[in-house]
Amino acid sequence: MDLIWIGLAVVGLGMLVLVIILMAYGKLWFQAYMSRAPVSFTSLIGMTFRQVHAATIVQARIMAVQSGIGADPSSGIETDRLEAHYLANGNVPNVIRALIASHRAGMDLDFDRAAAIDLAGRDVLDAVRTSVDPKVIDCPDPHKSGKSTLSAIARNGVELKIRARVTVRTNLEQLIGGATEDTVIARVGEGIITSIGSAEDHLAVLENPDRISRAVLERGLDAQTAFQIVSIDIADIDVGENIGARLQVDQAEADTRVARAKAEQRRAEAVAHEQEMKAAVADNRAKVILAEAEVPMAMAEAFRAGNLYSGEPREGGNGPIPG
């Protein structure tokens, strides 16, 4: 009798567990089964223990199968790979949507590469959309640089202000490790400034703005970037200041100030030399006065010594007569 009760308890417990499993996973299992993307109860229960959101994995699996990219096991769209990407903090629905979009567009993108792009921090769905539908970016970007135009100066010194629009598509081959939009904008801006700077006259640039686009495209500015430049279009071009003339005026003013400074230096040197000459004259005059003052003293000394003669000849002789 006890065995019967134990058997009934075990059966009841089993029925209770079965009911709980059906209530917890029955809807997901039935949805996957009806979508021809079956997921076993064992996998669903294992997802719970692995702390994987089962609904996310099932929905991703259904989307893959319904779009035709998950029916083949070799494509990699299996629950274990989806779980692995989920546990790596990947965006599973975004990866599946990107694969669907690339499949519809006939692009070569598999799950492994899409997952790697997603884990690298790039929006893989946006990358696929940009590859299918190229987007246009402004050069310069007013939201990042705060400037709406590029400033470049031709060889004749005239400034040109240019705004360009760059059409790019995503290069999925170089998306991982490739440079971002900021690098493309910087390179295009540098190419535009270089092209204008090499022009002999700003009028030549105004007559043929497309020469700038051709010159920039020929430089291969999209190398080692995550994008491929489709076209570069000059949206606006305006004439700015005549920088060359202004620099010449500034140089002339600087030369004038230098000439004035040198003239003032020469005048100061002349004044100083004049003062030196005046001082030398005064010194010589003082020496003359000192010399004149010594004459009476010498004469007095001669009188005292009896060495002073009048210079007349003596009587009876040829010598001078003492004074």
pLDDT in tens, 236-285: 888 887 777 777 788 888 989 999 999 999 999 999 988 889 898 888 88
Of the candidates 244, 245, 160, 247, which has an alpha carbon nearest to the alpha carbon of residue 202?
Answer: 160
Predicted pLDDT at 93? 92
Can you tell me the distance from the alpha carbon of 312 to that of 297, in angstroms, rounded to the nearest whole number? 23
- In angstroms, the CA 311 to CA 158 distance is 96
The pLDDT, as a whole number, for residue 261 is 92
Residues 114 and 124: beta-carbon distance below 8 Å: yes
3-state secondary structure of 192: helix
CA 74 centroid distance within chain: 43
Give the whole-angstrom CA distance, residue 96 versus residue 79. 12
Model confidence at 19, pLDDT cuts 50, 70, 90, reads low
Q: What is the pLDDT of residue 241?
A: 79
Answer whether 166's CB lies under 8 Å from 188's CB. Answer: yes
Q: What is the pLDDT of residue 94?
A: 92
User: What does the pLDDT average to over 108-115?
Assistant: 86
- With a pLDDT cut of 90, the percent of the chain lying above it is 7
Maximal CA-CA distance, the chain: 197
Report the number of secondary-structure helices (H) and strands (E) in the chain.
12, 6
Which SS3 state, helix, strand or coil, does residue 261 take?
helix
Residue range 188-192: average pLDDT? Answer: 87
**Closest alpha carbon to 134 in 59, 13, 233:** 233
Which of 296, 127, 311 has the alpha carbon at shortest distance from 225? 127
56 SS3 class:
helix
Q: What's the CA gap between 288 and 295, in Å, rounded?
A: 11
Query: How does pLDDT run across 116-166, given as a tens digit for each residue?
Result: 889 988 888 888 888 888 888 888 888 887 888 888 888 888 888 888 889
Looking at every residue in the chain, the average pLDDT score rounds to 81
pLDDT tens digits for range 29-41: 888 888 888 888 8
At residue 13, the pLDDT reads 62
DSSP label at residue 141: -
Q: What is the DSSP letter of 225?
A: B
Mean pLDDT of 66-86: 76
Total residues found in the chain within this entry: 323
Asked whether the predicted pLDDT for residue 75 surpasses 80, the reply is: no
pLDDT band at 76 (very low <50, low <70, confident <90, very high): low
Q: Indicate left, alpha or beta for 89 from its phi (over 0: left) and psi (-120 to 50: alpha).
A: left
How large a percentage of the chain has pLDDT more than 70? 85
> pLDDT band for position 321 (50/70/90)?
very low
Q: CB–CB of 221/184 below 8 Å?
A: yes
The reported pLDDT for the residue numbered 22 is 62
What pLDDT score does 154 carry? 85
**What letter would DSSP give residue 120?**
T
